[in-house]
Amino acid sequence: MSDLDLISRHLIEDKRSIFSSLSESDKELLLNTITCAAYKKGDLIYKEGDKPAGLLCLSTGKVKIFKEGVGGREQIIRMVKPNGFIGYRALFAGENYNASSVAIEDSIICCFEKDSLFKVLKNNNTLALDIIKKMATELGFSHTRTVSLTQKHIRGRLAESLIFLKDTYGFEDDNQTIKVYLSREDIANLSNMTTSNAIRTLSTFASEKVIELDGRKIKILDLKKLERISELG
């Protein structure tokens, strides 16, 4: 059995996978039509307007999903971690992608082929209900985010983003360093601000001993304070 076989099998068999409770034959159907690919850091996975070929699932690595707005300025709308889905919204809406996706680390991504997936989906109500639940949760997240990004001030937005990154990717072994290494530009695009302001505000947080900076490494020194900054707006 090849490495990629193992990888795709794991995506389905893992007990946290929404596919884990499928019948063996359904699992086989999905496995037989899955394709996996490796992406280098910075590689484009898909861009706005592309047609989804299936359901993408991140096996290893990290991925950002963003929309291009006014004057090409990008807004990151989601960060994906291993075992997370990529671009499922467009697939299920029957639309082309209206966001773009780029690997921010070397990544392996598997694609569940569309027709097989829908075939399985038609006969598995639990799966459909799981997807409904997943999307409803994501929609709630999106609404919350809209309000934060529009109403909070720069400090609040940046603090929220740092907490979001911590919640998504967790800490390194030191229990302080956020386990993702973004450029200042990406942090800005996540937090709806200019790169200069992201840099400036990060420095301010560092001088206030809320965080510690070392290149792209961000240590959270005082989570309580960061949460207070986030809530204050």
Partner DNA sequence: ACATTTGTATGTTTTTAAGCATAATCCATT
Partner DNA sequence: AATGGATTATGCTTAAAAACATACAAATGT
What is the rounded CA–CA span in Å between residue 85 and residue 126? Answer: 18
By CB under 8 A, tell whether 197 contacts a copy of itself: no
Residue placing its CB nearer to a copy of itself in the complex, 60 or 75: 75
State the minimum distance, in angstroms, from the CB of residue 146 to a copy of itself: 5
Count residues contacting a copy of itself (CB under 8 A)? 46
Phi, psi for residue 35 in degrees, rounded to 5 = -135, 135
Answer for which of 179, 200, 219, 225 binds DNA (CB under 7 A) is: 200
Q: Which of residues 123-162 bind a copy of itself (CB under 8 A)?
A: 123, 125, 128-129, 131-133, 135-140, 142-152, 156
Q: How many CB atoms lie within 10 A of CB 206?
A: 16
List the interface residues with DNA, window 89-128 (CB under 7 A). none
Q: Is 203 in the site for DNA (CB under 7 A)?
A: yes
Number of residues engaging DNA in binding (CB under 7 A): 20
Q: Does 93 bind a copy of itself (CB under 8 A)?
A: yes
105: CB partners within 8 A, 6+ apart: 41, 61, 62
Name the token pair of 218.
């961000």
Least distance to a copy of itself, CB of residue 188, Å: 12
121 near a copy of itself, rule: CB under 8 A:
yes
Nearer to DNA, 119 or 200 (CB): 200
Q: How far is the CB of 123 from DNA (least distance, A)?
A: 46
**Of 48-77, which residues contact a copy of itself (CB under 8 A)?**
67, 69-71, 73, 75, 77
Nearer to DNA, 59 or 161 (CB): 161
154 binds DNA (CB under 7 A): yes
CB of 125 to a copy of itself, least distance (A): 6
Residues that bind DNA (CB under 7 A): 71, 153-155, 183-185, 192-197, 199-200, 202-203, 213, 215-216
